[in-house]
Amino acid sequence: DYRDRTTTLAGVVAYSGTLAAMSRNRDEIPQLFGAWAVSGNFFSALEVEPGMGRGFAADDDKPGAQPVAVISHSLWNRHFNSDAAILGKPVILGQREFTIVGIAPETFAGTDLFFHPDLYVPISMIRELQSSRAEDVLRDRSSRWLTVLGRLRRDVDVDTANAEMLTLARALEQTYPETNKGRTVEVLPEVSARGRLDTIGYQGAGVAILIV
């Protein structure tokens, strides 16, 4: 809702960190790697151009889409021996076969300060990596497990974006009273928000949109 209705943010993306058991085939013993489940517009909204291949498209993040993955430049180097032929090839993540469609640029290691993911998959694939998630996790409005990042439009300041988001939050509260009653939103510069997420988003009654 925030992504689709905003006029003050040039892009709004979401992600969630997890671990993924990956093997190159079903005969290989899987290894655990850090992964992010990301919205389909993750790379495009952050203006990150893959070093090779492509990022995700909106269709990649729809239920029923073919499973695809983007791997980090670091993982490509150390696990795939910098083999360009890996593009278009399958890997096993969890119990599902994913196609590697892109390699992130060497200069991009995610947007978290301390967690640098080895691979990225669309949010629609979260249950392939975390089978313990409820089947309706992608439709349950009361389930809040995503970190949200926004990019300000060049002619907009944080206070203006925050005012717009608060208006949207009030509208959502009226439209979805069972899940959004008492839920608010706060727009914060990403740097100043570090260390506050426990009280703002994960344990609090609101959504934090971090501006990058």
Q: For 89-107, how does the pLDDT look when each residue is reduced to its tens digit (9 = 90+)?
A: 999 998 899 999 999 999 9
Per this entry, what is the length of the chain? Answer: 212
Q: Residue 73 and residue 42: Cα distance in Å, rounded?
A: 17
pLDDT at 127: 85
Q: For 117-158, how does the pLDDT look when each residue is reduced to its tens digit (9 = 90+)?
A: 999 999 999 888 877 787 888 888 888 888 889 999 999 999
pLDDT at 86: 95
Tally of CA atoms within 13 A in the half-sphere of 92 that contains its CB: 12
Q: Please list the ranges in the chain whose pLDDT falls under 50.
A: 198-205
Q: What are phi and psi of 192, to 5 degrees?
A: -75, -15
